[in-house]
Amino acid sequence: MNKHAKSVLPEGAKARQVYLSLRDQISDGRFQDGQTLPGEQKLSEVFGVSRVTVRRALDALAASGLIIRRAGSGTTVSTAGQLDKPVAMNLATLMPQLVEMGQSTTARLLSFSYDAAPDFVSSALGLPNDEQVQIATRVRSTNHTPFSHLTTYVPAEIARNYSENDLATTPLFKLLERGGVQIKDAHQSVSATLAGPEVADALEVAVGSALLSLRRVVKDVDGNGVEYLAGLYRPDMFRLEMPLTRVGDGNARHWEPAIGKTHEEGA
């Protein structure tokens, strides 16, 4: 059950783009399991590249086990046992559900230092310009597959309440509250970005893969910033789930997140 076979991505620029595009369409369901892909000739027309280039992309997909090619028959999608159900983040805990369910996740500390806060951190947290912050980068994995790359910035004074070793075992969240920080507000901003070499290596994905990007600013009851999180998540391993309910009447009708509910979607 070699889930995430090593990604042997094509060297060429166009071939890699075709590969990434097809892989993406497979992983998010636009091409479903068992479905027959368009022929190589057809694909070369759609992507505007030669058939040789398409073949290089398909070679990589076949090497990853995502497709099965049969001469004369065609190329079919084969994602059986390949795709994990993604880890979902629980809005109530701001932690991956696996973590709160006590399932095995491991965190690896990639870097750890105290340094002056970057501008975007100090401005977001409301810190003095040259405030010292603890900068830590961690990678979280489940089943030996990394799914998140987290860089946290915490004011040095607060960060002294826990050790470097704590970071590798306990979510930063609990460390802060354990240290007496009274957390009040958070603001999350979700976007997307491409995987650079270092992050790609840490998350075991191809350079240029799409990643979910999450920025989180956490403040305490006094309005002081206590944590800045820059997180990158593998889209095939992680999703942000948001159950919502329609409430109110007339013009006041609006959406509200349904927090407590265990809204089960297709497993």
Residue 68 binds a copy of itself (CB under 8 A): no
- 229 vs 214: CA distance, rounded Å: 8
| Minimal distance, residue 195 CB to DNA, in Å | 17
Assess contact for 93 and 38: CB atoms under 8 A.
no
Structure tokens at 80: 């059986």
Applying CB under 8 A, which part among 54-62, 68-76, 139-147, 207-215 lies near a copy of itself? Answer: 207-215
Q: Is 177 helix (H, G, I), strand (E, B) or coil?
A: helix
| List 74, 118, 196, 248, residue binding DNA (CB under 7 A) | 74
The reply to whether 120 sits near a copy of itself by the rule CB under 8 A is yes
Residue 206 touching DNA (CB under 7 A) = no
Rounded Cα distance, 3 and 178, in Å: 37
**C-beta separation of 140 from 147 below 8 A:** yes
Closest CA to 51 of 103, 1, 15: 15
Q: Which does 39 bind (CB under 5 to 8 A by kind): a copy of itself, DNA, none?
A: DNA
Q: Does 71 bind DNA (CB under 7 A)?
A: yes
Taking Cα atoms as reference points, which of 153, 199, 198, 197 lies closest to residue 176? 153
Q: Report the site for a copy of itself in 211-240 (rule: CB under 8 A).
A: 211-213, 217, 230, 233, 235, 238-240
CB of 62 to DNA, least distance (A): 7
The answer for residues whose C-beta is within 8 angstroms of residue 164's C-beta and 6 or more apart is 109, 112, 136
Report yes or no: 61 and 76 within 8 Å, Cβ to Cβ: no
Binding span for DNA by CB under 7 A among 52-60, 134-142, 144-152, 156-164:
52-60
**From the list a copy of itself, DNA, none, partner contacted by residue 66 (C-beta under 5 to 8 A by kind):** none
Place of tokens 């090593």: 6
Q: Which is nearer to DNA, 76 or 151 (CB)?
A: 76
Residue 257 lies near a copy of itself (rule: CB under 8 A): yes
Among a copy of itself, DNA, none, what does residue 2 contact (CB within 5–8 Å per kind)? none
Stretch of residues binding a copy of itself (CB under 8 A), selected from 51-59, 61-69, 84-92, 155-163: 84-92
Residue type, 4: H
Which residues touch 57 (CB under 8 Å, ≥6 apart)?
10, 15, 16, 18, 19, 22
Q: How far is the CB of 257 from a copy of itself (least distance, A)?
A: 5
From candidates 21, 32, 50, 103, binder to DNA by CB under 7 A: 50
Which residues contribute to the site for DNA (CB under 7 A)?
10-16, 37, 39-42, 48-53, 55-56, 58, 69-75
